[in-house]
Structure 1
C-alpha cells in the first residue's frame, strides 16, 4: 500500500482531500479505496458521478454503499460499463439482483401446444 492508498482508506480523510484526489489522475490501486467508502459526502458523490474517466464512474457504480438516488443517476450514464453494474449490483443487505430467465408459459389444457410449440397428447 502506498501513501495515496493510505490516505484513501483513512476514515478521517476530509472532503477537500477526496475532491483533490479525484481532480488528479487517480491511480488504479487507490481508486477502490476512495470510491468504495460508505457515507461519502454529497460533493464527492457528485464528483464521482460526473467524473470524466469511465473507470472511476464504473468503480463507483459497484459500490454497495451508494444511495438509491445516486445509483439511479449512475444507471443513466451514457456508458454501458457504468450503467450495467449500477442497475444490477447489490443494493443494501441481502442477495444481489440478477437477471432472471423468463418463466415458460403455464401449460394449457390437454392437447394444446406447450411453450415449445409441441402438441401434447391428451392424458387419460
Structure 2
C-alpha cells in the first residue's frame, strides 16, 4: 500500500487532526477523498472553509449534499458563485435520515431567487421546516401553494384551507380535497370524476361514499378491493364481493369491521405463512 492509498482512510478517520485533513483536501475533485471528508460526523471549521471556497464546483456540490455538515456552512454556499444556489436548494437527500434544516435567512434567499428551478427545488425539499412552508400556502406561485397544501395541511388556519379547496389551480384543489374526502362525500365524488383511473385507489378506500357512487364504482369493478376496505362502503354491497374471483377482494371483505368471526371465517381465504397483511385502519 502506498501513501496515496492511505489518504481516503485519513479523510474518514475521526481522530485525524485539522492540519492533516487540510493537507489532504485535493486540488481537484477526488471522489474517494472528498466524499469521506463531507461524510465525517465532525468536520473541523478550517476544513469546512476549504471545501466551501474550493475552486472545483464538484467539491462544493459534495458539501451541499452532505447531510452531516453544519447547515450554516451549507448556507454559506449562497455567498459564492450564483450557480451554487441550485446545489443548496437540492441539498442532501439521504435515505431514511433526518437532515437539519438551513437557517431561515437561507430559505428567504432561495425562495426569492430569480431562477424558478432554484425556488421550486427549495420548496419541494423534504427538509424545509413547517414554519417556512405554512406562509407559502397563500403564495402567488402555485407550486408553493401545492407543496404547502400537501405537506402542512394540518398546520393551516381554516380560512387558508378553504381557499385551497377552491384554488383556481385544479391540481391544488385535488390535493386539498384529498385531505377532506373522508368527511366530504361531494368532494369524494368530484375526485372520482376528475382523477385518472390509476389515482383512484386511495379515494375509493378512504373517501366518504354515497350509496349511488358506491354502486356505480362496484358495477364498474374499479378497484373492488379498495372499495371493500372503505368503512363507508355499504355492508350489503361488500357482502356481494365475498365470493369475488380475485382473492385480494375476498381478503379485503374478510377484514370488514361489521363481520362476526364466523362470517369472517366463512370467506374463502387462507393466510399462508409467507403472506404479508397490511394493518387494518379501523383497528
TM-score of the aligned structures, taking structure 2 as reference length: 0.33
Is 1:55 the counterpart of 2:58? The answer is yes
Q: What is the alpha-carbon distance in structure 2 between the residues aligned to residue 59 and residue 89 of structure 1?
A: 9
Q: Secondary structure in 1 aligned to 2:32? A: coil
- Matched with 1:92 is 100
How many pairs were matched up? Answer: 109
Q: Secondary structure in 2 aligned to 1:29? A: helix
1:41 aligned to which of 34, 44, 47: 44
Is 1:115 the counterpart of 2:161? The answer is no
- Offset at 1:62? 0.9
Deviation string, structure 1 residues 14-64 (Cα, Å, up to 9, x no partner): 111111111544522222011221221111111111011111110011111
Which structure shows the bigger proportion of residues in helix conformation? 2
Deviation string, structure 1 residues 58-110 (Cα, Å, up to 9, x no partner): 00111112223212112343253x422423435339x9337x933395455xx
Is 1:9 the counterpart of 2:9? The answer is no
- Matched with 1:30 is 33
Is 1:71 the counterpart of 2:74? The answer is yes
CA RMSD of aligned residues (A): 3.2
Instruction: Tell me which moved more, 43-52 or 27-36.
Output: 27-36
Bigger Rg, structure 1 or 2: 2
Greater RCO, CA 8 A, separation 6+: 1
Q: What is the alpha-carbon distance in structure 1 between the residues aligned to residue 7 and residue 33 of structure 2?
A: 6
* 1:62–1:41 CA distance, 2 compared to 1 (3 A): same
Q: What is the alpha-carbon distance in structure 1 between the residues aligned to residue 90 and residue 30 of structure 2?
A: 26
Q: What is the alpha-carbon distance in structure 1 between the residues aligned to residue 45 and residue 81 of structure 2?
A: 21
Unaligned runs of 5+ in 2: 93-98, 102-124, 129-141, 150-162, 171-283
TM-score of the aligned structures, taking structure 1 as reference length: 0.67
